[in-house]
Structures are given as structure tokens and as C-alpha cells.
Amino acid sequence: MYTRFAKWYDQHYRSIKDYEGECERLAYLLGKLDPSPAKLRGVCCGTGEHAWILREKHGFSVDGIDLEPNLIAIAQEKNPDNAFSVGDMRRFSIPKRYDAITCLFSSIGYAETENGLKEAIQSMSRHLKPKGWLIIEPWVEPAEWDPKLVKSSRSEDEERKVSIDQRRIARTDGSVSVIDIEYRIDTPDEQLAFTETHRIGLFSGEQIETALESCGFKSRYIPKGMLPHQVYLAQLGA
């Protein structure tokens, strides 16, 4: 997935994604919960940017897990007082339990299949304390997916003199959205061009809610829970 792009990930996504606003909204949601969470785990945490902001600006303790070792290395360096580990959200196992688990940036789609979706939610449920909370930001639903999508973005770091051009080309493979991401990266030392392919399952709201219920959660859908992003807010054993 982001194996080669990991070292440039923060530069590019900080320029096109409102991490600060998302964390402010997430902290607001978490603060309204009962019991109110203090210790969180980010599943598919990427470079730990959400974790860093939630800790530094909102007082949460946030550990993380991600399938990509290069992203986890950055997350751990960014958050040295917390634990970040490599693992698959569908089958990870650690001894610690948390007040809440987040799965943001539509990463639940990387479970890819309906069975994988249930496996991921089940794995997350095993790492929650009784009455713990799960916050999922979903990918697009099947009816909303555009298999002809082509989208470009660009970021520049003037100080380091690094520019990144990213082009996303969409297609469909059954019930999976496939995005080929083409990169062109210009640095003072080199010019790079490569492609990484992402496979992201297309799950309906009904499929997500059914998976949550089957794993012991009571959930509710919040259309703009993380403005403008939608979220599912679920409590275990409620």
C-alpha cells in the first residue's frame, strides 16, 4: 500500500487533509461518551498524526497499529511515549485493553471482504474494555462509488524543495474498489515515479451495522460526525 510513499506521506496528506479539525471533532465526540475514554488505540493508524494531535492538544493517550512497517516507524518516532506496532486489523492480538478504538480515514475498507470486515470488528472488540467504544469512519458505499474517478493532488515543501504529484485512477473488481495511485516526486537529489495499488472493500451501511451487531456492539450512524466525514459510533455490550 503506502510502502514506498511512507516517507512523504505526512507532507502530502497534511496539505490536503484537516487533521486538526478532525481531531477537534473526535475529541468532542469522545468527551460526550459515558464512560468517557482516556486511553485509545488507533487501528490503521498510519503515521500517527491523529494520535499525536489527540495526545498533544486534547490529552488522550493513544497507541496504534498498522499493517505497513514504514508508517509505524514514523508513528513511533512521532509518539515515543506510546506503543505502536505492526499488525493486521483482522487478526491482531495484544494484551492491553482500551477505553476506545478508532479506525479512521476510511481504513476499515482495507478489510476488503464482508468476512474480513467482521474479522476486523471482532479483533477490535477483543481489545476493548467492557462498555468500550469503537469509532469507524467508513469508505464510500457501493452506490456512491465512481469506478471512472480520476483525481489529482499536489503538495510542495518549499523548505526541503520537495514536490509531490499524486494521481488516483479508480476501477472496480467485484465488490472491491481498486485505486492505482501514481506518484511523481521531485527532490533536490532525485526524481521518482512509481505506482501503488490499493484495494478497498465497498461496504454498505447495512453490512457495517450488521457486522457491528454480530460482534456485540450497539451502534449509531452520525452523518457528519467528524465534519464533513461520517462515522459509526458503537459501544460494546451496550
Q: Write the burial class of residue 41 (CB in 10 Å: 0-12 exposed, 13-18 middle, 19+ buried).
A: buried
Q: What string of pLDDT tens digits covers the 238 residues of the chain?
A: 899 999 999 999 999 999 999 999 999 999 999 999 999 999 999 999 999 999 999 999 999 999 999 999 999 999 999 999 999 999 999 999 999 999 999 999 999 999 999 999 999 999 999 999 999 999 999 999 999 999 999 999 999 999 999 999 999 999 999 999 999 999 999 999 999 999 999 999 999 999 999 999 999 999 988 878 899 999 999 7
The identity of residue 180, as a single letter, is D
| Residue in the block written with cell 471482504 | 113
Output the CA angle 94-96-102, nearest 5 degrees.
85
pLDDT value for 238:
76
Three-class SS string for 156-204?
Answer: EECCCCEEEEEEEEEEEECCEEEEEEEEEEECCCCEEEEEEEEEEECCC
Note the pLDDT tens digit of each residue in 215-238.
999 999 999 888 788 999 999 997
pLDDT in tens, 94-128: 999 999 999 999 999 999 999 999 999 999 999 99
Q: Which domains does the chain have, with CATH numbers?
A: 6-141+204-236 (3.40.50.150), 143-201 (2.20.130.10)
